[in-house]
Amino acid sequence: MPELPEVETMRRGVLGIIGGKVVKAERTPCPKKPIVISPRIDRLSKRLVGKTIKSVDRLGKRVVVRFETGDRLIFEPRMTGLVLISDPPTTEHLRFSLKLKNCPIKKLLYWDRRGLGNVTLLTDKQYQTKLTDGKLGPDALVVSEEEFPQRFGKTRRDVKVAMLDQSIVLGIGNLYASEILHLAGVHPQTRCDLINKKRWSLIYKHMLDVFALAIEYEGSTLSDGTYRNALNKSGGYQNEHRVYDREGEKCPSCKQSPIIRIVQAQRATFYCKKCQTKR
């Protein structure tokens, strides 16, 4: 589930590891489904031990830890992964840890209940080749208002489906796409090629507004309680959701129509038929 606001919250929550030197990198024994760690843990550890952390960045929905060597340790949380510096929600789903010195934070942890995420160490060249050289779109917080609609081009895909394509714009996920489109008054099944410039501007504006507020609230912790910030605390933006996971409730905008749930590309979409008329 972690999308841009949640991953940005994770990134900000672990900034204290900058300047830290790796003492040990290890896969934590987990009786559940093992996650993918690449390269093999002994090789990964050998490359990192003694190396200093220079920065903590975000690439869309990934946390990227950069070392003095140019190597980057990439955490991709996918559905239930968390990057933490405090005790994890459960001990049995702790997957990976970095023991550190020379900084106030002694351990960087990766926890993943379902085990769908991964941890990958890439050289600078591998990072550029595999992830940044045209493979992914510009970040949602960086793309300009002019470039935003151009990225979607003339595709005939539903706008909600296209917004989830990370090769177009990076960071938008299922939850926030529904929220953004509701505020912009755009039906989620509207074809991208039928959206005019004014509507694209509204989508862009509300995307920035939603992300800014969601980051301020440190993300959304849903009913399953899985998402937590770096200190294992709940986010608060779930209390601001207007349509996501509110099927049957009255729309907070028109206060008349109930929120409807449909499925697009095997993902749940929520919207108001009165406020988001299909054009």
Active site amino acids: 2-3, 61, 267
Please give the full DSSP string across 39-52, using - where no structure is assigned: S-HHHHHHHHTTPB
Separation of alpha carbons 234 and 227, rounded Å: 7
If we measure between CA atoms, which residue out of 135, 9, 134, 15 comes closest to residue 61? Answer: 9
What one-letter code names the amino acid at 101? Answer: K
Q: Any idea how long the chain is?
A: 279
Separation of alpha carbons 250 and 261, rounded Å: 13
What one-letter code names the amino acid at 179? Answer: E
Please give the full DSSP string across 224-235, using - where no structure is assigned: T-----TTS---
Q: What torsion, rounded to 10 degrees, do the Cα atoms 27, 32, 34, 35 define?
A: -90
What 3-state DSSP class applies to 249? coil
Asked if 75 and 81 touch (Cβ cutoff 8 Å), the reply is yes
Say which residue the tokens 């507020």 belong to: 213
